[in-house]
Chains A and B, each alone.
Chain A
């Protein structure tokens, strides 16, 4: 069983469309994250949730809206996609907010906006 799974793995879409990426973790962790990794390979935190509650909301456009129906799921919805949104989006989880060990990453979702 994959610890952190996200779907889809690849997503190709046109500018202006709306798309969602789903993430689920079966580790019983309280905290989940969305990261964006662009072509320069920087991992940038976008959002973090702790027990379904939004903790970190970095300066991302409000076209990006996370939703956490329960603490095992954190989905990312993107409205009105732009070319600059093309990147790999990683979901991750940790036991709690105070990360002192491993952060568990999903396999990534590669989004290409044409």
Chain B
């Protein structure tokens, strides 16, 4: 079956770095997405990886290893506004997105 696993909750300190891991199992693979979702709001796109390696975008970076079925989202210089849920989603061979339940990130001062 198809499955996305990510931790339920993480806590980090303002100004620090945090890495949110995601493992995926999909029927075929057409890429891995990360979305941010603040409480009561819609998910917003952060990144898309289809090739192995690290993609950096400002304070956020996303890594993919297709052989390991593994991705992570790295957040640097954490700010209080980064407190949100981070959703990992894998795209299968039919271009259908399989979503994880999200990792709730709590930032403490």
Query: Are B45 and A99 in contact, with the CB atoms below 8 A?
Result: no
Query: Number of contact residues on B: which range applies?
Result: 20 to 34
Give the residues in chain B near A103, CB-CB below 8 Å. 33, 35, 43, 45, 97
Q: Is the interface of A mostly helix, strand, loop or mixed?
A: loop
Report if A43-B48 is in contact (Cβ < 8 Å); known contacts: A100-B30, A108-B41. Answer: no
Query: Are A105 and B44 in contact, with the CB atoms below 8 A?
Result: yes
Those of A88-104 within 8 Å (CB) of chain B: 90, 97-103
B73 proximal to A (CB < 8 A): no
Query: Are B42 and A106 in contact, with the CB atoms below 8 A?
Result: yes
B106 proximal to A (CB < 8 A): no
Query: Are A101 and B41 in contact, with the CB atoms below 8 A?
Result: no
A30 proximal to B (CB < 8 A): no
Query: Are A44 and B99 in contact, with the CB atoms below 8 A?
Result: yes
Q: What separation, in Å, do the CA atoms of A76 and B25 have in the docked complex?
A: 30
Residue among A56, A99, A100, A108 making CB contact with B42, cutoff 8 Å: A108
Q: What separation, in Å, do the CA atoms of A43 and B6 have in the docked complex?
A: 14
Give the residues in chain B near A107, CB-CB below 8 Å. 41-42
Q: What separation, in Å, do the CA atoms of A80 and B78 have in the docked complex?
A: 46
Give the residues in chain A near B45, CB-CB below 8 Å. 101-103
A32 to chain B, nearest CB (A): 14
A78 proximal to B (CB < 8 A): no
Q: What separation, in Å, do the CA atoms of A56 and B50 have in the docked complex?
A: 23
Q: What separation, in Å, do the CA atoms of A101 and B102 have in the docked complex?
A: 19
Name A's B-contacting residues (CB within 8 A): 40-45, 56, 90, 97-103, 105-108
Going nearest first, the 3 A-B pairs with the smallest beta carbon separation are A105-B42, A102-B45, A43-B99
- 16 additional contacts, CB 8 Å, given A44-B99, A103-B45, A105-B42? A40-B101, A41-B101, A43-B87, A43-B89, A45-B97, A99-B97, A100-B30, A100-B31, A100-B48, A101-B45, A101-B48, A103-B33, A105-B43, A106-B42, A107-B42, A108-B41
